[in-house]
Amino acid sequence: MWSKWNRSTKPLTRPVKQAGERRRRLKVQKKRLANLGLPAEKIAKMNSKQVRDLLKRPAKLAKKK
């Protein structure tokens, strides 16, 4: 059960995701793909969802080499 103190100390809104952090994560993920051996030309054409999908199973990507 929530007490009055707990309700008053909780923030009213959650923090908003920052665009700079999103770009930084994407940059790091693209470097990881390059280290796995994917060509830079192919990485540059990918969107963020494609990058994340490839990094979910890096062992599968390593087998394709």
Return per-residue pLDDT of the chain as tens, 65 residues: 556 666 666 667 777 889 999 999 999 999 999 999 999 999 999 999 999 999 999 888 877 76
pTM of the model: 0.72
Residue type, 21: E
**What CA–CA distance (Å, rounded) separates 55 from 32?**
8
**What CA–CA distance (Å, rounded) separates 53 from 64?**
15
